[in-house]
Amino acid sequence: MLDDDIKKILLLDRTTGGNIIWATAERSTQPIQLADVESIVPRHEKNRADQKSRTRARAEIFTPPEVCRIQNNLIVAPYGNRWQEFIDAKFLEITCGEAPYITSRYNAVTGAPIPFTERVGLLDEKLRTIERETSAVADRLEFVTRAVKSIYGYEFQGDNLFLARRNVFETVSEFFRDELRLKPPEDFLPHVAEIISWNLWQMDGLTNSPPFTDNANLFGGANCLIMDWATREPVEFVTLIGRARR
Ligand SMILES: C[S@@+](CC[C@H](N)C(=O)[O-])C[C@H]1O[C@@H](n2cnc3c(N)ncnc32)[C@H](O)[C@@H]1O
């Protein structure tokens, strides 16, 4: 269970300065409020009619962990023993849904929980690497922060984006509680939530703008912002396209 202060951070939209919006067929541009959060359920808990209409409207079909595992293994393998490089390597899950390529706390198709050691997400693999390669508390805090900063995702529908953010947050907080059995300093998890609120953002991937806005709209430019953690300066995502390492 998340406390309200964390939920509030996980609802922030860093481009608009408000909350993320629903951007679903029923509730389009309304912001998601704190009180709405309890009503958000993952796709596997939605009724069949909802699932069908979301598939029709937004091509919402989630990838099973067996498939994520095969693809993510191809990404991870080349790093070999260069574990620090792997922790810092940046990954983006485009149209991330509930973010199964980042962390697989549950099977996104069936909802079955997946134990930490069997998870297939890239953040999951980074956390297992940190557990294996580090032992000092300060190192663990430092590398987990770096791992979270390295993982990005964007999504159109606000409820999915909130679930993706919550999944990343819960993965990190469970890692400290259940795997490391370590209570991080008071400000650590709120800081993780802040990072997540920048790194998983709401965007229409066809316009690089928040859903239902674009650069020709009445309010002027609305290119989505993400954080460059090296310079601590926000950058327009659109300016990075084509610059990724091949
Ligand atoms: C096929 S699902 C994939 C989700 C997840 N990456 C996975 O593999 O399970 C596609 C996702 O893209 C989102 N989506 C659809 N159109 C989009 C757009 N124009 N921009 C961003 N996301 C979009 C949907 O809301 C949905 O969550």
Position 61 in a domain: yes
Residue ID of nearest Cα to ligand 1 atom 6: 96
What's the number of domains the chain is made of? 1
Position 96 in a domain: yes
Task: Judge if the beta carbon of residue 92 lies within 6 A of ligand 1.
Answer: no
CA 160 to ligand 1: nearest atom: 27
Residue ID of nearest Cα to ligand 1 atom 9: 62
Position 246 in a domain: no
| Total-model pTM | 0.96
* Domain carrying residue 38: 4-240
In the reported structure, the alpha carbon of residue 141 is separated from the centroid of ligand 1 by a whole-number distance in angstroms of 31
To test the pocket of ligand 1, the residue of 51, 69, 155 to mutate (highest count of ligand atoms within 8 Å of its CB) is: 155
**Helix (H), strand (E) at residue 93:** strand 91-93
Position 204 in a domain: yes
Task: Judge if the beta carbon of residue 155 lies within 6 A of ligand 1.
Answer: yes
What's the Cα-to-Cα distance from 164 to each of 104, 116, 178, rounded to whole Å?
10, 17, 20
In the reported structure, the alpha carbon of residue 135 is separated from the centroid of ligand 1 by a whole-number distance in angstroms of 38
Contacts of 30 (CB under 8 A, 6+ apart): 21, 22
Q: How far apart are CA 23 and CA 206, in angstroms?
A: 14
Tokens at 12, concatenated:
């922030």
Position 245 in a domain: no
Task: Judge if the beta carbon of residue 95 lies within 6 A of ligand 1.
Answer: yes
Position 75 in a domain: yes
| Long-range contacts, 57-63 (Cβ 8 Å, 24+) | 57/25, 58/156, 58/157, 60/97, 60/157, 60/160, 62/97, 62/98, 62/100, 62/108, 62/109, 63/100, 63/101, 63/108, 63/109
Render pLDDT for 189-202 as a digit per residue (tens, 0 to 9).
Answer: 999 999 999 999 99
246 residues of the chain, pLDDT tens digit each:
799 999 999 999 999 999 999 999 877 899 999 999 999 999 999 999 999 999 999 999 999 999 999 999 999 999 999 999 999 999 999 999 999 999 999 999 999 999 999 999 999 999 999 999 999 999 999 999 999 999 999 999 999 999 999 999 999 999 999 999 999 999 999 999 999 999 999 999 999 999 998 655 445 558 999 999 999 999 999 999 977 654
Render pLDDT for 162-211 as a digit per residue (tens, 0 to 9).
Answer: 999 999 999 999 999 999 999 999 999 999 999 999 999 999 999 999 99
Task: Judge if the beta carbon of residue 96 lies within 6 A of ligand 1.
Answer: yes
In the reported structure, the alpha carbon of residue 96 is separated from the centroid of ligand 1 by a whole-number distance in angstroms of 6
